[in-house]
Amino acid sequence: MSGRSGPRDLLIAGAGGFARETAQAVAAAVAAGTQHWRLLGHLDDDPALHGRLVDGVTVLGGCELVHELPDAQVVLCVGSPRDHTGRARLVRRLGLPDERWGTVVHPSASVSASSEVGPGCVLLAHCVLTAAVRLGAHVAVMPHTVLTHDDEVADFATLASGVRLAGGVRVGRGAYLGSGALVRESTRVGAWSLVGMGSVVLRDVPPGEVWAGSPARRLRAAGAPERAELVAMTVAAGRAGHGPGTGRGERTEGAAPASHDGAAAEAGRIGPDDRDDQDDQDDQDNDTAGHGPAVRMGRSAR
């Protein structure tokens, strides 16, 4: 937010649990003086929500309003364990330039000077990035999550509350780690995979799989939306002449690759499964279960 003397307008895409938490983080950051936002409101594609107040913040309309408010930055607060492709689909749908993506950091988050946080990320209360941690674009880091030295988290990944990553962990594009998951040092969690709540990951999780337990074991393949994203990502990587990988190096320039799934491509629309990243942890338990350069950050956002 350098180069601007006053607060920057912000829109939150989504109106569910994660979006509401992000709005509270924005308010806390503004009150603490660590970030300078003017929150305009939520955006959601459900017409029944338009004009309603969500924790005192108005749902202005559908996500296409981002194009009518070109001076506002946007943060995407959608996705759930049932379908964690929502942010990737919405990035493709909206097609915004790099500089439109905002990054929200709660003032209690601890982000080392040697760590990098990509555009569109959300870091909620009391999360910690200790040393040389790298986050890609549109990564969601929930409260009390700890990332230790040399961890790398790729675009669109979600780390739910209380996740702990030991050193040198690689989390792939779009992966979802449920609340309280623990990941052993130098382990890889593959792209578009899901790790269940409270799991203890001691060995690499392949892309596009659901693992859970202590120690974590494979339960099944990921859902159709995640498999479609993985196929599209693999095709794009093949065209570029390299494999899909699991870390930050897998990022592609510009928007994420197009989905091969018809329903997902209809897409980018925010539905009930997209709104509650945090709230849907109970569902996961019952199941056993465009990008600019990264910004180097100190303890608080600039």
DSSP 24: H
Distance between CA 111 and CA 99 in Å, rounded? 22
Rg for the chain, CA atoms, rounded: 17
The structure tokens listed for 294 are: 């990264």
180 appears as a binding residue in the annotation: no
Which of 68, 21, 26 has the alpha carbon at shortest distance from 276? Answer: 21
Is residue 149 part of the annotated active site? The answer reads yes
Element (H, E) at 25: helix 17-32
CA angle centred on 175, ends 91 and 155, rounded to 5°: 40
**250/286 Cα distance (integer angstroms):** 32
Q: What is the number of alpha carbons within 13 Å of residue 19 lying toward its C-beta? A: 32
Six-digit token pair at 207? 């892309």
Among candidate residues 84, 106, 138, 149, the one labeled active-site is: 149
- End-to-end distance of the chain based on CA atoms, in angstroms? 6
User: Residue 51, class by beta-carbon neighbours within 10 Å (0-12 exposed, 13-18 middle, 19+ buried)?
Assistant: exposed
Say if CB 277 and CB 20 are below 8 A apart.
Answer: no
Alpha helical stretches, state H, 209-269:
224-240, 262-266
Catalytic residues: 149
Known binding positions for substrate = 79
Known binding positions = 79
